Each structure stands twice: as C-alpha cells, then as structure tokens.
Amino acid sequence: MSLVKPFMAVRPKIGKESTVASLPYDVMNRKEAKVMAGDNADSFLHIVRAEIDVDDSVSQYDDAVYTKGSENLGKMIADGTLVQEEKPCFYIYSQVMDGRTQTGLVACCSIDEYLNNSIKKHEFTREAKEIDRIKHFDACDANTAPIFLTYRNNEKINAIIAEWLNKDALYDFVSEDGIGHTVWKIDDLAVIAELDQLFAGVDNLYIADGHHRSASAAKVGLKRRKANPSFTGEEEFNRFLAVIFPDEDLYVMDYNRVVKDLNGNSKEDFIAKVEEKFSVSAIDGAGAYSPDAKHRYGMFLDGSWYALEAKEGSYDAAHPVKSLDSAILQDNLLNPVLGIGDPRTDERIDFIGGIRGLGELEKRVSEDMEVAFSMFPTSIKDLMAVADAGEVMPPKSTWFEPKLRSGLFVHKLS
C-alpha cells in the first residue's frame, strides 16, 4: 500500500514560474549558486541556498543561513511571487529533455511508510547532510524540494494522468538548460480520490533520488510529533513532498569515476593487475569509449582509452549488489588494485555524472587525476532489485536526468 495525498501547495504566481524555478540545491556549490541566481530576486536559490545572501565569511551551515532561507520564503509569499493553493490538489509534472519525456504525480507521501521501509531505499545517508536539510526544512516550516520517487508501471494510473494532460497547463516553460517543464493541476475531487485509491494498490514506492531530503523530512516530522504528543497523524508534518514517476519513464545516466594516482604502480604493473579480473583491450584512434553493455567499462590512462570487461567468475552474478557494475569495479579494481577502500570518504576518488560527458574524464585526468573509468548506466530494474532485497548500492551508482526543479511546489508543514 502506498499513501499519497493532495496538498495545498505554495507555488509560483502564474507568470513567475520560469524565474522562480531553480536547479536542486545539491547539484552546485555556494559559488555556483551565487552565479546562477545572479540578479534574479525571484530565484528559489535564495531559499534553498540562502548562504548566497549572507556574507561569504559565514558558514553555509550557520543558523543565520537557515533563518535567511525562512525569511526569503516568507518575503516571496508576502510579495505575491509565491501563492498558496486554497484547497488540496495533486499536480502533474512533465519534463522533456532531448526529446524524451518523464511525467510524474506531485503529491505528499507518508513519513511512516518511509520509516517502515514501505518506501524503499537503496543508499546510505550521511548525518551531516541530513542535519543540513533538517535545519532548513524546520526553519522554513516547509518541504522546499520534492523527493524523486518511482513505482512499477501501472496502466490505470497512466490512463488517468494521460487524460488529464489534455487539459490546459498551469505552467509551461523551457529552462535555461533547454529542458521543458509543464505542470497541470488536478483539482477534481473524484479524480483525486481515484488516484488515492489506485496508489493504495501499489505495493511500494522507491526513492530514485533524494535519500538525504527524505531522511531529513522524516526526522523533521518525528521532531514535530515529539513536540505535539497529541498529534492525530493528519497534520502536514506527517507527510513529505514528492514527485512520483512510473519506472518506465525514467532515464539513468552513467556515473563515472576518476582516481588521483595508480597507488604506487607503474602503468605496466597496473594494467597487469587489472587483467587478472578484466579483459583489457586498447582502443586505437576511436575516441572516448562509452560501454555498450553491463559489465563493460572504459578506462582512460596516459592519454589512451581501453575497453574493459569483467571476466566470468570474478563476481557473484546472482547477487543484486555484487553483480552491479559499480560493485564489480569497486571489489575487483578500485579496492584491491588502487587501494580505494571506502569510496564515500577516500579523497583520492571523485565521481562525475554522465551529463558532463566523457570529455570531462579526459579533462580531469589531464589536470589532477591519473586514471578514469566510464560506466554503463545502472538500470531502474537493478535499483529496485537492490531495494527489494534490503541492500544498499555502492555510492554514486545512479545519475538521473533531468533533475526536478525546485520552487515549483512547496509543502508547508503547518
């Protein structure tokens, strides 16, 4: 069973949507956020990255930053840049990137289903990152960014959403990165009730992206429950904001690796050690190598590309995690050969989302790294299998595009 509920969204005034909407807070650093916001006073970055509005000497995790984010949210509501819906609604959010469309339902989901793992996870979270968003959500009294959820395709839900797409859109714009964003509002009580009932028949929702935001939202809800021991469960703080996509709509890109050195190995010794678990062949004059199947990798070393393929028997093909390409590379190369024991904390490794292209791998190797690995994208099917098994994927195994824009929907907690 999956509980989804309509909500009274705080959203941009019609005509302000394209200037308010911003990339999510965690795909940029402080300096980049300041440049992106520029002189746009409407940018939602003033809320989710409020450190751009305080002196650079102030830590981005200082209480003053969270207070400023809350103040900026209040100001944008007060001046009419953001308006609040008068009654609970669902929304449909459709994005188009490079001719490919993903369309999801914007709704609120239960923190209890997150806590009891009915909403399934596939990543560990880091406490420091959780605390940041806990303080932010708590200060703003709102979920300021949606969690990216998915579920196994359901034709009845698809049919309702497809029919609603024939109505007039609430928002329809193209962001500066060329991605199309269209939003419809579902305010028909009968349709809301039907969607509510259909999702009740969906066994599980899965976190595709946003593990830290979901963990933080759940903990803010628990904090509010503790402060309100007579809570009924119907308060808004018992739910968090999400966009829920059918699995067949989603596109996962490669998430590539670069490593600073060869762990004391010469080039020849390094390749010899790699060949113990992988077949290795040089790619002569063909440019960057992008793997075309699972268990294949590209390797850029000393100005040349190589094709790698994991040898049979070098991994457990039946295990949902150990059979992942990211796990195979970690277990058979990054750890034993390059000495990267914990990729979450080792400063010798970095991760580059596929949206940046393989040219970025070559650039990093020429600047500050020694070797790069291009990956075949992890599938949604693999992600769900890991989550269903109660396992955790290696870090940086998935990169979803397009990213959900922040600022189109805000869920107030009280």
As a whole number, mean pLDDT of residues 316-322 equals 96
Kindly write down the DSSP assignment for every residue of 213-264, as one continuous string: HHHHHHHHHHHHHHH-TT--S-SGGGEEEEEEEEGGG--EEPEEEEES--TT
| Element spanning 105, H or E | strand 100-110
pLDDT digits 0-9 by tens, 262-294: 999 999 999 999 999 999 999 977 689 999 999
User: What was the pLDDT predicted at 285?
Assistant: 73
Task: Determine contact, residues 129/212, Cβ cutoff 8 Å.
Answer: yes
Residue 7 phi, psi (nearest 5): -150, 160
Average pLDDT, the chain: 96
What pLDDT shows up at residue 284? 79
Q: Record the tokens describing residue 351, joined without a space.
A: 């991760």
Q: What confidence tier does 126 reach under pLDDT thresholds 50, 70, 90? A: confident
The stretch 96-111 carries a mean pLDDT of 97
**pLDDT, average across residues 303-320:** 96
pLDDT at 94: 98
Using CB atoms within 10 Å of the CB of residue 287, give its burial: 0 to 12 exposed, 13 to 18 middle, 19+ buried. Answer: exposed
Distance, first Cα to last Cα, the chain: 26
What is the spatial distance between Cα 24 and Cα 21, in angstroms, rounded to a whole number? 9
For 333, which DSSP code? I
Query: If you write DSSP's letter for every residue of 207-227 in order, what string do you get?
Result: EEE-HHHHHHHHHHHHHHHHH
Q: Is residue 48 pLDDT above 90, yes or no? A: yes
**CA separation for the pair 181, 169 (Å, rounded):** 10
| CB contact at 8 A, 182 and 213 | no
Percent of the chain at pLDDT exceeding 90: 95
* Model confidence pLDDT, tens digit, residues 67-78: 999 999 999 999
Local confidence band at 210 (pLDDT 50, 70, 90 cut-offs) = very high
CB 69 within 8 A of CB 139: yes
pLDDT value of position 372: 98
pLDDT of residue 344: 86
Angle at 103 between CA 129 and CA 26, to 5 degrees: 20
**pLDDT reading at 395 higher than 90:** no
- Give the separation between CA 47 and CA 14, rounded to whole angstroms: 19
Preceding amide of 402 cis, omega within 30: yes
pTM: 0.92
How does pLDDT run across 341-391, given as a tens digit for each residue? 999 889 999 999 999 999 999 999 999 999 999 999 999 999 999 999 999
At 295-311, the pLDDT tens digits run 999 999 999 999 999 99
- Could you tell me which residues come within 8 angstroms of residue 149 by beta carbon, excluding any fewer than 6 positions away? 104, 109, 119, 205, 206, 207, 208, 242, 243, 244, 245
Q: What is the pLDDT of residue 230?
A: 96
Q: Which two tokens stand for residue 5?
A: 């509920």
329/198 Cα distance (integer angstroms)? 40
Beta strand extents in 260-346 (DSSP E only): 278-283, 296-301, 304-310
**Residue 406: its pLDDT value, please?**
97
Q: How many residues does the chain have?
A: 414
Residue 245: predicted pLDDT: 98
d(CA 343, CA 351): 9
Q: What pLDDT is stored for residue 1 in this prediction? A: 85
